Structure 1
Amino acid sequence: MSSITTVQCEKRLPVNPLSLVSAVADRVGSGAADAVDMVRRADTTARNVGEYLRYGGLQIDAESSPYDVVATEPIYKLRHYFAQDAATDLPALVLVPPLMMATEVYDVAPQSSSVKAVHECGIDVWVVDFGRPEDEEGGLERNMGDHVLAVSDAVEKVRAATGRDVILSGYSQGGLFSYQAAAYRRCEGIDSLVTFGSPVDFQAAPLPIPLSMESYAQIAEGLLESRVLDYISLPSWFNKAWTRMLDPMATVKFKFNYYRALSDREQLLPGEQQRKFLDDEGWTAWSGPAIREFLQQTMVMNRMLSGGLVVGDRTVTLADIDCPIMIAVGEGDKEGHPASVRGIKRAAPRADVYELTLRAGHFGIVAGAGARKRTWPRVAEWIRWRAGQGDLPETIVPSDEVVSDVAWTPSDLSNRVQTVLDLGIGASSSAVRAANGALGAVQAVVRERGSQVPLVNRLDGLRSATEISIGLLMAESANRDPDGIALMFGDRVVRNRALGDRIDAVVKGMISLGIRQGDPVGVLMRARPSELTVIAAISRLGATAVLIRPDWDSTPQARVGGCRWIISDPERVAEASLPGVQWCVLGGGAGERTLPKHVIDMEQIDPDRVTVPKWYQPNPNRASDVAFILFTGDESTPRTRVITNRRWALSALGTASAASLKSSDTVYSRTPLHHPSGLMMAVGAAIAAGSRLAFASAPDRDTFWDEVRRYGATHVSYTWTSLREIADGPRHPMEQDNPIRLFVGSGMPRNLWRRVNERFAPARVLEFYASPDGEAILANVATTKVGSVGRPLPGTARVKVAAFDPEKKQLAYGADGLGRQCAPGEPGVLLARGDDAVNSRTLVRGVFTSHDVWQSTGDIVVADADDDVWLIDPIANLIDTPGGVVAPSRIQNALGRITGVDLAVAYAAEADDDTVVVAAITLFPGVELTKWDLQSALVRLERNHRPHTVMSVPEIPVSTWSRPLRTGLPDVVGEQGTATRRWQLAEDGESYELA
């Protein structure tokens, strides 16, 4: 009530005229001031808008950091910042910018300049300037390798100028260039690496837009196959738009805040240069060849992690990096997701990796006030620590100690799309996603198999008159992709065009020697590019390649093979001439060398001076023509194994299809070409699919892992036990995250197969079977049944398992004179559909019907209920004993189930004038075998299959093809030989006792 009364009293007071005038004046003045302020703000806004529309932003009088251009090369210029007062007591920092962004990313504005911040910390700063590709001569023709070589050259120049190893550093793609340059140089001249938001494992993190990695890969493969990127490049405006699309809401928000603040010039000026850089000036074009390589390396093959990068004509793997690495990880980075950036730890297992974790986005890691305060001072401290002038900052920690669960934030486009879907679909979304997942898995399989349709079609179309040969397929690859990589050996690559030219030159050399179509030509070489070149040249000429085994005497092989010429490596030249044989040498370069007088150096033949005869037609061979002659039997009496072009093509195309090989894959061959598996499966499949082919330079374990990572090997060949050292040795640093998908070969023992599956999962074993004669080619494509050789490949001969009489060692015929197909689980002879027109000693007629024709493989097999075939033994290996016929492989497989057993062989020996079966085993170090181990493994066998004696020996010899042999083992029971322990079967026929 008092307040009301007061008001009423106040209303009754007489009005003071002076106060009223003053109040009116104040009100008018305030309104006038507001009006003036509005007019001023409108004027400022109008002028700022006009300046923005005319110049693209507000005009700022700010100077860039000073630098000298100390080198100008075709790909880059080398800038030296603050050269007049550069520090000399610390290693220099070499900064590498990414593609799509201007070099000025390191010097956007004085208050956010990276180079200035580092210089103020006492560091000598150098920057690699790639320029603007659209303005540089040949700039839009550059590829990724050109940039990597430029960085390597810059390292060399800075190192020469400063006299010290450098700190090589890159932002985003600049970090990828830095990694590759360091690997290319094997870290020579590089003290350490520092990278900012540089993704390495492109399959480790969610993608910034809602597409699966498979979809990305399909799009990338489509672009690569279309070769459209050979003719177009991405302009700067597209690169800017693409980056903005990764986070459109952030772009809209930034634009809105900027336009709203156009009336406040003082607020805008501090960040204006950075805005102009990101809005326009900072973007450059991206050349088509560089995009092509980037897509292939990341989206398709993820080669930054797996290896197989190619720089120039050299193979590169980040696994060769052994200098320390510091990675700056932005927890809000959408382009260099933390999980992908941290992939360098797995890609470079030899390097010590440290991490600086920052609360920043992709651009904020290196630019802006935050980077000036948090990033660059830590980089300077890193450099001082590396120079021994300080401690490692607490914020930089070993990557193994980093604990982070960084994921995409809800603002990311992909998550926003998923969130909308989840909200809209509701409870049924789980079922829908499950169905989509299943459909996706099916589609992935269909796509993978679908990519093999051309190979399967070619298999089905093979006829006797079909033009097909190894020379023809290699010529097709050269025409299809001249710059594609054909061969990898050591750290060098050979491209299709260069290989084709070399093959043509060798053909002319052979023509000059008088070699003609159909002639058998001996080849005595190790598995290397020169050997494949000679074999392809012989095929292209229309002759026959006789592949001489280097572990045997070449004289009987040349005689049996009908050779009038032998082409060898320089180191395999025979000291004396062979009667009727002209010895030639190829490989080792065209320089001067001393060779025996009976040898012709083909490197000295000038192909340009050879006149090509009129009869010469490249790749004239048909499927029915003889392509190769291989050797079996023993050294003193070698037997020939004739391989036609059709037989080779069936294996090559079939293996490529079964292994789902693509042009982006790499087949790493550890198998000699004179072995059928190496020639027809490993090498043949790579050529048939247009994949990269890599030859092992040495058989040891360290070389294996070095080359698997260097080549990015996805498929590795094997024979028999050739993977033992790899599978049973200690863990290798390069083994982790290796790129191998399939081990491809034949003859692997089941216990080794299981060890390979367990150790190298998810890699699998793809076991093949190819009959010595005929066209029975089987493969365990599903790879799920350890020991099975699977089913016939599409386009190869149909097979059946026929009943077998073990006593007579022949097919079992019924009262009607016809054979019988075995039931599932019943052992029998594997027969392949034959050709009555082919004269072969292994053909059998009238087996199941009166007029059918089959070819006997000579192998005892068993087929299961799924029609998968399991190889038992060749008929020739069966052992006749008083208790019945014994298949030694069954004993070997049973012993292989014992955990401590490495190798096992079973063979015939004498005991009291009878033939018995004995077994020899080798054990893993530290294993003690008991009689209970033996009994539990062998009791499953029929009584006559339980070996009379089991010997533990220090070593079981293997052939040059890694097949276990019985050489040197005792032929008579009771002879000690090299056995360290022996167990003998007791009279009860079940238990074993130490002998």
Structure 2
Amino acid sequence: MGIGGAVNRVLATAQNGLEVLRFGGLETGTEPAPFQVVETEKMFRLRRYFPDDEDSVADVILVHPMMVSANIYDVTEDKGAVSVLHRYGITPWVVDFGSPDREEGGRERTLADHIVALSRIVDIVREITGRDVHLAGYSQGGMFVYQCAALRRSEGIASVITYGSPVDVLAALPLGLPAGIAAPGAEFLADKIFPHISIPGWLARTGFQLLDPVKTARSRLDFLLQLHDRDALLPREDQRRFLEDDGWVAWSGPAIAELLRQFVSHNRMMSGGFVINGDLVTLAEVTCPVLAFVGTADDIGQPAAVRGILRAAPKAQVYESRLPVGHFGLVVGSVAGGQTWPTTAEWIRWRDDLGPEPEDVEAMADHADESGTGVTMSSRVQHGLNAVADAGVAAGRDLVDTAVAVQRTSRAIAAESVRTVPRLFRLGQIQPSTRISLGKLMSENNRRARNKELFLFENRVLTHEQVNTRIDNVVAGLISCGVRPGQRVGVLMDTRPSALVVVAALSRLGAVGVLLTTDLDISVGIKIAEARVVIADPNHLEVAREHSNRVLVLGGGSGDARVIEAADGESVVDMEQIDPAAVRLPSWYRPDPGLAGDLAFILFTRGATFDLTPWPVTNHRFAISAFGAASAAGLTSTDTVYCLPPLSHPSGLLTTLGATLVGRSRIALSNGVDAKTFSTEVMRYGVTVVSYTWTMMRDVVRSPDFEIDQHNPIRLFMGSGMPPGLWAEVLESFPRAHVLEFFATADGSAILSNLSGVKLGAMGRPLPETSDVEIAAIDAENETLRVGADGFIEKAAVGEVGLLLSAARHRFATNGPVLSDVFAPHDRWELSNHLFRTDSAADLWYMGATASVIVSRDGSVYRPPIEQALSFARGVDQVTAYRVQVGGGLAAGGDDLAVAAITARAGSASAVTVSTLRAALGRLPAQERPHLITMVDSIELSESYRPLSSSLAAQGVPKPGARVWYRDDEGRYRRFTKAVATERGWE
């Protein structure tokens, strides 16, 4: 290049540079595509491009991200989205949310506002065109599209198209941030920062550029180096100006906070259960076809995150189209103009039966087992990224993610994690005078997270603040009805939000909740507990009136009259008619007065002798269970706990409600236990933890209607009493989850949990910070504890059945007898009525209550091992074991027989054979096997799904027949005939 050329280059550079300084860029002469604003509302303006074209064959709604201008779909005249789509006969409709800093109320916009507005736009376009529409969105606009389709359950949507839109956000975050760090950080920002500020457009632009600083710097350098060559710059000038200035709009703080909380911290695009204006929504209910464009060099909407849609929307046909570009290149630039938008147009025509399947589209494959983000090193190098730095960040992220994964899969670590230590520390500091109760926990959570969701029920969402307000209103109603602190009040209600509110209100008032169930003798329970008032829901009103002269009704449908006087003097008070604002709170009222040593609840159970037994629960007992279960289960604010048990069962009140409050998790309540409801609500609510009792999960996993996506969000089942055979089936049906079994004595002196989940049927070991336990040896002949040569009680040997003792805490009153100097001088141990044995690894196995042991001529027979063994038998459904006395029983010269009743699974009765039973019971010593096994048509279940044997025991010895087997002298089973019954005196 000569001197003249150099001079011309300098002059051209100066001239072009001056134009850039004066006007912000070079004049390209391009004109935007024509459009008409067809609808204007507070949240949006809806543009219809090429409004005079009457030959449209399809319609697509294009949605921009919150921080990017709607003009992104018309950046370049020939290669812009709207122009390309129009050439294919498709009408582009572009949503313009505007810039929040220039719109009325824009800075207060929430994420839900955008989704609801988009759903409204779908209705508008359908009304104008008379046909379903395709919904397309770039980046976060694609997230809006997914969420809108989920909210509408795909109604009116022909297909969904997204461009670099992450679904499994935590699978691959920008800048290689590890999920274990990003999730809690996002929650902090959502709670503390963004509710109070918004992001201006210039900051949004800067943030986007900082996500790829190398590429930004290189683009600017290239622009400066070519500033002399106007012809080279003009084709990319509109794109450059859009990125550098024109394309960015402000971002409202509440919308950012909601995005961070729901879709980063809790990753609810994947798990489901995100909330749009009070409605629970899940991508699992998207049924329309989906096309996701994947940028193989996209470090913002990374391939691993984008491909999460395949697992999140199992009912949809999901396709992908891969492009060798970064995030912005998916929608703007030469590749977008030559591939993205023509492929989009071909997809739309194909889905509307107007053309063939596009060549660049294929069914999305499941990459769930692949590691990394999906952005290959070669893609990064190809697009000029800092490969070495990115590789280092990715390696760091993988290391942290691996550490987090190891932590989550190690059950023992749950009690040692950072979030668990404060819980256990608080638990260890509780004194009898410590103020702690269910009501106080709810008050504390309300102060910390008043606007966060607490209860999910029937597709409704209640926040901590809403629930807390309702509790206070019920307290006012209780006070107006004369209820006082310390008073015992019966509660007879279905497990609904109103029932939980009542229990919490009684706790806040300082009264004692007596949890009643219809499958127990309510009159006896009321008499034992001295409950002179019963609170019922409308479903239980008539039953409550039969057993109490003072009934308070809470819940809809209880009538218009506030007080209904019956002829016999009973009164029914409709608490829904009480105006809490009109109730004057007395001077003695103090919210949440409960101390650790105070009685909080009374539960009931039927023991081995079928007698109704009260379970008094102090606030300390409640706290031990709640904090211990939350720690063992690793519950956090990211969890949604699905409560199947009734509140009247310890698993419902203590393990589920209590642990959920301690973990600050959401609690989802069900309308019943069945396979279809379970599968639907798990996905809709985003359930991560399922609580159960006894055989509840049988109605789910053994139902012919049971279907659930293999990528469901459940990680844990927690509860008590699950038969190990059913336990194994649950693990088979949910291979990514595990089962956490709890066992607790009635007074709470001992709480055990099977943290490892490896030994099906084992009770495990004591929870951290709960009482130590020992198994004391028994002198069976004298029915006492066995004393050793040193005068102290002997500990049971490995495998030996003994009595469970728990270390007595001096500062708390106990319900059972306490012995001193048991194993060592000055020790104190509380006796339980439960028998256990210990295996070689020090895990405890339940052998039943002392009263449940069947002592026959052959020796002691324990019911739980029989029930556990038979639960594994092929073809067996339900099992229960019980005692039958013949000839007046062993004490009268007769005998006590152990009988096991079984039911067969549907269509599997023929699979239950002598060989099946023998194999199932083979691990038990012959003398500990049941004397008789009978196959019955059904086994009665309690309200908590516990198999009941009282009615079977009342029938006596099973009648001989083809479905009854007896144990011979060698421990084998044979057909039980009338001759055998006569010979053995079992008639």
Say which SS state the counterpart of residue 590 (structure 2) adopts.
Answer: coil
Which one of 70, 84, 91 corresponds to residue 38 of structure 2? 70
Which one of 897, 902, 909 corresponds to residue 921 of structure 1? 902
The aligned runs of 1:214-225 (5 Å cut-off) are 214-224=180-190
**CA distance in 1: counterparts of 2:336 and 2:718, whole angstroms:** 50
**1:79 alignment partner in structure 2:** 47
Tell which structure's C-alpha radius of gyration is larger.
1
**CA distance in 2: counterparts of 1:452 and 1:166, whole angstroms:** 49
**1:155 alignment partner in structure 2:** 122
Residues 339, 838 of structure 1: alpha-carbon distance in 2 compared, 3 angstrom cutoff: closer
**CA distance in 1: counterparts of 2:583 and 2:290, whole angstroms:** 55
TM-score with structure 1 setting the length: 0.89
Counterpart AA for 2:716:
L
**1:281 alignment partner in structure 2:** 246
Worse overlay, 979-988 or 115-124: 979-988
- Residue 584 of structure 2 is aligned to residue 584 of structure 1: no
Which one of 734, 741, 745 corresponds to residue 760 of structure 1? 734
Say which SS state the counterpart of residue 215 (structure 1) adopts.
Answer: helix
**1:197 alignment partner in structure 2:** 164
- Residue 536 of structure 2 is aligned to residue 568 of structure 1: yes
Q: How much does 1:547 deviate? A: 1.5
Say which SS state the counterpart of residue 660 (structure 2) adopts.
Answer: helix
Q: How much does 1:917 deviate? A: 2.3
**1:236 alignment partner in structure 2:** 201
The aligned runs of 1:357-756 (5 Å cut-off) are 357-399=322-364, 407-410=375-378, 411=380, 415-417=387-389, 441=406, 449-552=417-520, 554-574=522-542, 577=545, 581-588=549-556, 597=565, 598-633=571-606, 638-729=612-703, 733-756=707-730
Cα contact 2:807–2:829 (8 A) shared by 1: yes
Flag structure 2 segments of 5+ consecutive residues without an equivalent: 566-570, 888-893, 978-987
The one-character-per-residue Cα deviations of 1:176-229 (angstroms, maximum 9, x if unpaired) are: 111111111222232322222211112444x4434432232343344346x122
Cα contact 1:317–1:711 (8 A) shared by 2: yes
Cα contact 2:420–2:631 (8 A) shared by 1: yes
The one-character-per-residue Cα deviations of 1:393-433 (angstroms, maximum 9, x if unpaired) are: 344333359999954234366852376799xxxxxx99x99
Residues 420, 300 of structure 1: alpha-carbon distance in 2 compared, 3 angstrom cutoff: closer
Cα contact 1:210–1:417 (8 A) shared by 2: no
Counterpart AA for 2:182:
Y
Which one of 124, 132, 138 corresponds to residue 91 of structure 2? 124
Q: How much does 1:900 deviate? A: 4.4
Residues 657, 421 of structure 1: alpha-carbon distance in 2 compared, 3 angstrom cutoff: closer
Worse overlay, 885-894 or 531-540: 885-894
**CA distance in 2: counterparts of 1:603 and 1:833, whole angstroms:** 46
Counterpart AA for 1:838:
A
**1:935 alignment partner in structure 2:** 918
The one-character-per-residue Cα deviations of 1:73-101 (angstroms, maximum 9, x if unpaired) are: 333222222223355653x3111111221
**1:882 alignment partner in structure 2:** 857
Cα contact 1:70–1:78 (8 A) shared by 2: yes
**CA distance in 2: counterparts of 1:915 and 1:938, whole angstroms:** 20
Worse overlay, 633-642 or 471-480: 633-642
**2:880 alignment partner in structure 1:** 905
The one-character-per-residue Cα deviations of 1:876-927 (angstroms, maximum 9, x if unpaired) are: 1110110111112222333344454443333333578533323233444446
Counterpart AA for 2:422:
P
Cα contact 2:138–2:164 (8 A) shared by 1: yes
Residues 646, 508 of structure 1: alpha-carbon distance in 2 compared, 3 angstrom cutoff: same
Say which SS state the counterpart of residue 797 (structure 2) adopts.
Answer: coil
**2:6 alignment partner in structure 1:** 38
Q: How much does 1:154 deviate? A: 1.7
Which one of 347, 350, 359 corresponds to residue 312 of structure 2? 347
**1:6 alignment partner in structure 2:** none
Q: How much does 1:55 deviate? A: 2.6
Cα contact 1:721–1:963 (8 A) shared by 2: yes
Q: How much does 1:559 deviate? A: 3.4
The one-character-per-residue Cα deviations of 1:935-981 (angstroms, maximum 9, x if unpaired) are: 3443432231133333344543332212223355477887448x763
- Residue 281 of structure 2 is aligned to residue 309 of structure 1: no
Q: How much does 1:987 deviate? A: 3.9
Counterpart AA for 2:941:
V
Which one of 960, 975, 995 corresponds to residue 943 of structure 2? 960
Q: How much does 1:689 deviate? A: 2.0
Flag structure 1 segments of 5+ consecutive residues without an equivalent: 1-30, 423-428
Cα contact 1:81–1:126 (8 A) shared by 2: yes
Worse overlay, 883-892 or 368-377: 368-377
Residues 543, 969 of structure 1: alpha-carbon distance in 2 compared, 3 angstrom cutoff: closer
**CA distance in 1: counterparts of 2:579 and 2:255, whole angstroms:** 37
Cα contact 1:677–1:719 (8 A) shared by 2: yes
Worse overlay, 555-564 or 340-349: 555-564
Say which SS state the counterpart of residue 328 (structure 1) adopts.
Answer: strand
Cα contact 2:562–2:577 (8 A) shared by 1: no
The aligned runs of 1:9-48 (5 Å cut-off) are 34-48=2-16
Counterpart AA for 2:225:
R
Residues 103, 980 of structure 1: alpha-carbon distance in 2 compared, 3 angstrom cutoff: farther
**Identity score, percent:** 42
**CA distance in 1: counterparts of 2:545 and 2:963, whole angstroms:** 49
**1:169 alignment partner in structure 2:** 136
**2:890 alignment partner in structure 1:** none
Counterpart AA for 1:943:
A
**CA distance in 2: counterparts of 1:346 and 1:818, whole angstroms:** 60
Say which SS state the counterpart of residue 351 (structure 1) adopts.
Answer: coil
Counterpart AA for 1:548:
L
- Residue 846 of structure 2 is aligned to residue 871 of structure 1: yes
**CA distance in 2: counterparts of 1:872 and 1:438, whole angstroms:** 38
Residues 728, 479 of structure 1: alpha-carbon distance in 2 compared, 3 angstrom cutoff: same
Cα contact 1:350–1:733 (8 A) shared by 2: no
Q: How much does 1:672 deviate? A: 0.6
Say which SS state the counterpart of residue 678 (structure 1) adopts.
Answer: helix
Say which SS state the counterpart of residue 417 (structure 2) adopts.
Answer: helix
Say which SS state the counterpart of residue 956 (structure 1) adopts.
Answer: coil
Residues 514, 680 of structure 1: alpha-carbon distance in 2 compared, 3 angstrom cutoff: same
Q: How much does 1:990 deviate? A: 4.1
Say which SS state the counterpart of residue 443 (structure 2) adopts.
Answer: helix
Residues 697, 435 of structure 1: alpha-carbon distance in 2 compared, 3 angstrom cutoff: closer
Cα contact 2:544–2:551 (8 A) shared by 1: no
Q: How much does 1:529 deviate? A: 0.8
**CA distance in 2: counterparts of 1:325 and 1:476, whole angstroms:** 43
**CA distance in 2: counterparts of 1:721 and 1:440, whole angstroms:** 30
Worse overlay, 458-467 or 50-59: 50-59
Q: How many residues align structurally?
A: 952
TM-score with structure 2 setting the length: 0.89
Q: How much does 1:708 deviate? A: 1.4
RMSD: 3.3
The aligned runs of 1:842-853 (5 Å cut-off) are 842-849=817-824, 852-853=827-828
Worse overlay, 553-562 or 937-946: 553-562
Counterpart AA for 1:374:
Q
**1:10 alignment partner in structure 2:** none
**CA distance in 1: counterparts of 2:6 and 2:699, whole angstroms:** 83
Cα contact 2:175–2:393 (8 A) shared by 1: no
**CA distance in 2: counterparts of 1:817 and 1:872, whole angstroms:** 27
**CA distance in 2: counterparts of 1:840 and 1:250, whole angstroms:** 71
Q: How much does 1:452 deviate? A: 1.3
The one-character-per-residue Cα deviations of 1:349-400 (angstroms, maximum 9, x if unpaired) are: 1112233333433223222343333333333333334434444334433335
**CA distance in 2: counterparts of 1:404 and 1:356, whole angstroms:** 20
**CA distance in 2: counterparts of 1:117 and 1:988, whole angstroms:** 85
Q: How much does 1:36 deviate? A: 4.0
- Residue 751 of structure 2 is aligned to residue 777 of structure 1: yes
Cα contact 1:831–1:857 (8 A) shared by 2: yes
